[in-house]
Amino acid sequence: MSETNKAMNDEFPDRLSVDPNSPYYNGDILARDVGIRFKGAEKTNVEEYCISEGWVRVTAGSAKDRYGNPLTIKVHGPVEPYFRDTPKS
């Protein structure tokens, strides 16, 4: 991948979900191993985030809804997505 294409692909959407049924799902971006810092701490259980509104949706333990999907809780605060495959400067 050229540096120009990689720089263009380093832009995060305002909202991103890991659920393939969501309109905010983007497999190309998720394939690059996205990490989320929420309130300065790295979170590994984020299902969806929104940068402009400042929230993440995290799983609530091992609880499932009636369709077998994990139950989630929306938590408000500063959201910082990053790519784990990008070397730190």
Tens digits of residue pLDDT in 32-83: 889 999 999 999 999 999 999 999 999 988 999 999 988 999 999 999 999 9
String of DSSP letters for 8-36: HHTPPPSEEES-TTSTTB-HHHHTT-EEE
Residue 11 has pLDDT above 90, yes or no: no
For residue 36 the two structure tokens come to 């989320």
As a whole number of angstroms, the distance between CA 60 and CA 20 comes to 19
**Model pTM greater than 0.85?**
no
